[in-house]
């Protein structure tokens, strides 16, 4: 189209120019995910990782940059591809990723999100630095906002270490490589790499959560036993991050279900017999591959005692559950910040959207949910740091890991959905960040134990270690003292515990009650009064609530929203 000269010799306006872009919020990005998040900074200092502030500020600036967020877009729009064979028909069994995915992995590895908690092992020190879990979780919380899919292999690599350490002779060469901070995606033998990643495979078609129904066999090559070599024959319905350098798996040895380390490349340089059948076409988590695999006589080494596979691998599972809660809280933060950012710039009916009373209440209500999720997740991270020294922290870690994962990961999708609605059609399209975050949210509630599994784990903890539950409840009673709404909710939890016959059916009621009581206590202790008062009024008392933005009549919404982002 060309401009047509006017009678006066000038140019007319372009024929089809109908509008200019205005009343749109600026593109979200180029903000520091640490310094703009007051609740996160407060939690890091309170839980013992104040020493990491400068490092986390630098990481927050990077993860919140438009360049980093663009890498997330590219990695999700160009998902991994399986190359099972080469052009001549030889098996390759490799997964190819977009370069953006490798850049994201390199960022998280350089930050030490896969290893920072364990770096004391390189110096032969007995324990990590106080607050190490909290500092690492703060990084993971921001990395999930940058792009959540790549966090899966990062999480599993970090979580594998306590399980590997149960078999020191097998663990030693792998631990040395796990501690490397330079990401190395090459498909080469472990001893040639600067770092390695570790995946996990437990789920089979017929068993799912019931891993004791696994049919994969482990046949000893030689005498077998802890540290011994085995041949693995069978399948896994889900093998997360199949291009990791090794995997912790469960298989049936002669003495029962056992844990094994299965490398992708064997010590002699041969590719192990792990056949990638297909990649799962998942709702979200699309930048990260999940595969269905067969083991055609693959070699693996036993970790821990024969027949005790579940107790051996449970340390890995427990740490991944912490990361599920942290990542969900981080994604909630991303959704909330986007919605508030949009509402501060968008004008509707003569006012900024955030000044409209209904929108103000909805956003404030989302802020309450997100801050409570953050407080629960980082209180749990702090308990992981202190569990070896404080009995109360150990009890919190044992009981509140499944409680925290259950509640935080359950409320996440609702927060993401409401935040999308705050942005209207702009939130629903893939151009922005919220559509991807919404698709990402459900996975943390499903993986590493769905909601019902978390509830059953709480019941098992209550039965096996009632003293842990007693310690947690006594601590909550001290925190609730003088606040009737918290005291009443805690009394209802205790009442359920005195009716053990009802717990099989009422386990969700119990776990939600524990989560809300703990969240209310933490909000009362650590959040500004505007937030804690509104949380107690809406979550622990008042009428039935099915949607956000209801029941906040007495809340100081402006004070709540003033905490979310610098205006």
Residues 44-87: pLDDT tens digits? 999 999 999 999 999 999 999 999 999 999 999 999 999 999 89
pLDDT at 2: 44
Please report the DSSP string for 55-122 in residue order. HHHHHHHHHTSHHHHHHHHHHHHS--EEEEE-TTS-EEEEEE--HHHHHHHHHHHHHTTTTGGGGGGG
pLDDT at 11: 60
Q: Which helix (H) or strand (E) holds 257?
A: strand 256-263
Q: What is the mean pLDDT of residues 333-344?
A: 97
User: Does 6 score more than 80 pLDDT?
Assistant: no
Phi/psi region, residue 306 (left: phi>0; alpha: psi -120 to 50; beta: rest), is beta
User: Does 3 score more than 90 pLDDT?
Assistant: no
User: Does 329 score more than 90 pLDDT?
Assistant: yes
Give pLDDT tens digits for 9-57: 556 666 777 888 888 888 999 999 999 999 999 999 999 999 999 999 9
- Residue 555: how many CB atoms within 10 A of its CB? 21
Q: What is the mean pLDDT of residues 286-296?
A: 97
Q: What is the mean pLDDT of residues 172-189?
A: 97
- The predicted model scores a pTM of 0.95
Nearest by Cα to 129 from 207, 66, 51 = 51
- Write out the two tokens for 59: 């990481």
Give pLDDT tens digits for 505-560: 999 999 999 999 999 999 999 999 999 999 999 999 877 788 999 999 889 999 99
pLDDT tier for residue 208 given thresholds of 50, 70 and 90: confident
Question: What CA–CA distances, in Å, run from 350 to 23, 347, 356, 452?
Answer: 11, 6, 10, 47
Query: Average model confidence (pLDDT) for the chain?
Result: 94
Full set of structural domains in the chain with CATH: 38-307 (2.40.110.20), 312-562 (1.20.140.10)
């Amino acid at each position: 189209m060309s401009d047509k000269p006017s009678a006066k010799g000038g140019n007319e306006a372009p024929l089809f120019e109908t509008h200019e872009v205005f009343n749109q919020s600026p593109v979200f990005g180029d903000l520091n995910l640490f310094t703009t998040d007051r609740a996160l900074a407060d939690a890091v200092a309170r839980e013992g990782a104040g020493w990491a502030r400068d490092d986390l500020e630098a990481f927050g600036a990077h993860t919140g940059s438009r360049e980093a967020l663009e890498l997330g877009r590219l990695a999700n729009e160009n998902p991994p591809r399986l190359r099972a064979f080469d052009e001549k028909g030889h098996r390759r069994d490799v997964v190819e990723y977009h370069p953006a995915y490798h850049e994201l992995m390199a960022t998280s590895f350089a930050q030490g999100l896969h290893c920072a908690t364990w770096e004391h092992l390189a110096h032969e020190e007995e324990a990590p630095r106080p607050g190490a879990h909290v500092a690492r979780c703060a990084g993971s919380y921001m990395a999930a906002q940058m792009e959540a899919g790549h966090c899966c292999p990062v999480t599993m690599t970090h979580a594998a270490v306590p399980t590997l350490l149960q078999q020191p002779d097998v663990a030693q060469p792998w631990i040395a490589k796990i501690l490397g901070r330079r990401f190395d995606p090459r498909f080469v033998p472990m001893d040639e790499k600067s770092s390695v990643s570790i995946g996990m495979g437990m789920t089979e078609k017929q068993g799912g959560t019931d891993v004791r129904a696994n049919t994969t066999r482990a046949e000893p090559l030689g005498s077998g036993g802890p540290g011994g070599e085995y041949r693995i024959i069978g399948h896994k319905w889900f093998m997360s991050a199949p291009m990791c350098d090794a995997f912790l798996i469960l298989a049936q040895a002669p003495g029962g279900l056992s844990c094994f380390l299965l490398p992708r490349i064997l010590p002699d340089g041969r590719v192990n017999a792990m056949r990638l059948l297909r990649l799962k076409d998942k709702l979200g988590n699309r930048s990260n591959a999940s595969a269905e695999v067969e083991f055609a006589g693959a070699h693996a080494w036993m970790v821990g005692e024969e027949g005790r596979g579940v107790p051996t691998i449970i340390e890995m599972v427990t740490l991944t559950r912490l990361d599920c809660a942290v990542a969900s809280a981080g994604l909630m933060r991303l959704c909330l910040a986007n919605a508030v950012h949009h509402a501060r710039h968008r004008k509707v009916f003569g006012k900024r959207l955030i000044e409209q009373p209904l929108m103000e209440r909805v956003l404030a209500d989302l802020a309450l949910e997100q801050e409570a999720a953050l407080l629960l997740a980082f209180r749990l991270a702090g308990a992981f740091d202190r569990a070896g020294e404080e009995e109360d922290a150990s009890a919190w870690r044992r009981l509140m890991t499944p409680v925290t994962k259950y509640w935080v990961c359950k409320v996440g999708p609702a927060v993401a959905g409401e935040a999308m609605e705050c942005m209207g059609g702009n939130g629903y399209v893939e151009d922005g960040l919220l559509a991807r975050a919404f698709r990402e949210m459900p996975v943390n509630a499903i993986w590493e134990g769905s909601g019902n599994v978390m509830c059953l784990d709480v019941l098992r903890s209550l039965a096996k270690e009632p003293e842990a539950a007693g310690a947690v409840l006594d601590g909550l009673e001290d925190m609730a003292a003088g606040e009737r709404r918290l005291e009443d909710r805690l009394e209802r939890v205790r009442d359920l515990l005195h009716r053990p016959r009802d717990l099989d059916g009422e386990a969700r009621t119990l776990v939600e009650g524990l989560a809300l009581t703990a969240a209310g206590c933490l909000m009362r202790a650590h959040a500004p009064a505007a937030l804690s008062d509104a949380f107690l009024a809406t979550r622990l008392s008042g009428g039935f609530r099915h949607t956000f933005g209801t029941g906040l009549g007495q809340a100081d919404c402006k004070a709540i929203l003033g905490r979310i982002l610098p205006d």
